[in-house]
Amino acid sequence: MTMTVETPPTAVAGDIMVDIEDVSLSFGGVRALVEVTVSQARGELLSVIGPNGAGKTCLFNCLTGVYHPQRGSITFRGRDGGSTEIVGRKPHRVNRLGIARTFQTSRLFNALTAFENVKIGIESRQHTGPVGAMLRLPRTRREEREGDARATQLLEFVGLRARANELANALPYGDRRRLEIARALGTNPQLLLLDEPAAGTNPAEKADLATLIRRVNNEIGVTVLLIEHDMGLVMSLAERIIVLNFGRVIASGTPAEVQRNPAVIEAYLGAPADDEDDGRTAADRTTDDGE
């Protein structure tokens, strides 16, 4: 257990969905994550912040099965109540559990249309095999129709219906971000991990994105874990914030609490907070250090 965690581990009482316990990950001598313990309640909109290189994306990669931490466990409790260990599972099997993600630099299927991108997400939950596909069996055709309908619905939800037939590569940055969210939603997740969704977007796109994330959380009921450098976005969206620095959780709490936390201010400014910092918080200053 880390000594620096100031809020009690059970910050949010109730239905815990993800339980990251004592996770440590290192690459050779580099300690990317050190004894990280975080839990997230079902339906909660939790944000992970921290300076560049703090281990935020590493944490995502552990959560999605891309990296396997040397120590610790990550348990996921699905809607059906059963809890599953994530460490050691392959990415696609983690996705099957109901955890979907987007990437820091968007990784869309560039030569496919927006519609096809979303459909690939949806189809990972369908059952047609190669034989059914080659013979175009009734089930294949039914699934195809269902997939089309759902893809249209999801594109509508993220506001890209009009651009359904454009190539993913031709879409502007903000649209690419939203398309990635639509593709992830296609896999019907319970938990959505967003890795810097606002990076590289303009203020108008940012506002749209904030609305979209809130709707994903409220309307579809997806639990959201958000990595973001844009403090305005984080402070307005997150119910709770976890701060990482050098792979350790250095603080957690509500946006207001985190903004006042001296350890956070030190992590961002590299020096102990002094008197002249009264009016402004560290978080305000670091608004644009993304990318």
Partner 1 sequence: MSVSTSTAVARIRSARHSSDVRRLFACVFGFLVLAVMTGPSGSNLAPTSGFTGSLLHPRVFVFIALGVALWAIITAQHRWGEAIKHASDHVTALPRRVMPDRRVRLAFYAVLLAVAIVGPLHVNAFWQDVLVDQIGIYVLLAIGLNVVVGYAGLLDLGYIAFYAIGAYSTAFWTGALPVHPPIVLNAFWAIPFAIATAMLSGVLIGAPTLRLRGDYLAIVTLGFGEIIQIVATNLQGVTGGAQGVIGIPHPAVNLLHVHYTWLIDPLPYYYLLLAFVVLGLIAYSFLEHSRVGRAWTAIREDEVAAESSGINVLKYKIMAFAIGASTSGFAGMLTASKISFIEPGDFTVQLSILILVLVIFGGMGSLLGAVVGAAFLQWFPWYLKEHPLFGFQPEDLYIYLGAILVLTMIFRPEGMIPSRRRKREIGLAEHGVGTADAMSSSQAPVS
Six token digits for residue 209? 């994105």
User: In whole angstroms, how close is the CB of 146 to partner 1 at the nearest point?
Assistant: 11
In sequence order, the β-bridge partners of residue 75 are: 19, 85
Q: Which amino acid is at 149?
A: A
User: In whole angstroms, how close is the CB of 112 to partner 1 at the nearest point?
Assistant: 6
User: In whole angstroms, how close is the CB of 225 to partner 1 at the nearest point?
Assistant: 14
User: In whole angstroms, how close is the CB of 138 to partner 1 at the nearest point?
Assistant: 14
Q: Which residues bind partner 1 (CB under 8 A)?
A: 64, 66, 90-93, 95-96, 100-101, 103, 107-112, 116, 119-121, 123-126, 128-130, 133-136, 140, 143-144, 147, 167, 169, 183-184, 186-187
Q: Name the phi and psi angles at 136, rounded to 5.
A: 50, 55
Q: What is the DSSP letter of 198?
A: T
- Report the C-alpha gap between 159 and 157 in whole angstroms: 5
Q: What is the DSSP letter of 167?
A: B
User: In whole angstroms, how close is the CB of 101 to partner 1 at the nearest point?
Assistant: 5
Q: Which residue, 101 or 248, has its beta carbon nearer to partner 1? A: 101
Six token digits for residue 226? 């958000």
Q: How far is CA 280 from CA 173, 220, 228, 267, in A?
A: 31, 36, 20, 15
Q: Which residue, 176 or 240, has its beta carbon nearer to partner 1? A: 176
How far does the chain reach from its first CA to its final CA, in angstroms?
Answer: 31
Residue among 71, 64, 58 nearest 89 (CA): 64
Q: Which residue, 142 or 280, has its beta carbon nearer to partner 1? A: 142
Q: Which residue, 167 or 220, has its beta carbon nearer to partner 1? A: 167
- Label residues 261-274 b or e (16+ Cβ within 10 Å = b): bebbbebbeeeebe
Q: Which residue, 17 or 184, has its beta carbon nearer to partner 1? A: 184
Q: Which residue, 125 or 206, has its beta carbon nearer to partner 1? A: 125
User: In whole angstroms, how close is the CB of 32 to partner 1 at the nearest point?
Assistant: 18
Q: Which residue, 164 or 207, has its beta carbon nearer to partner 1? A: 164
- Report the C-alpha gap between 97 and 208 in whole angstroms: 29
Residue among 134, 115, 135 nearest 123 (CA): 115
Q: Which helix (H) or strand (E) holds 144?
A: helix 138-158
User: In whole angstroms, how close is the CB of 96 to partner 1 at the nearest point?
Assistant: 6
Q: Which residue, 85 or 148, has its beta carbon nearer to partner 1? A: 148
User: In whole angstroms, how close is the CB of 64 to partner 1 at the nearest point?
Assistant: 6
| C-beta of residue 250 within 8 angstroms of C-beta of residue 244 | yes
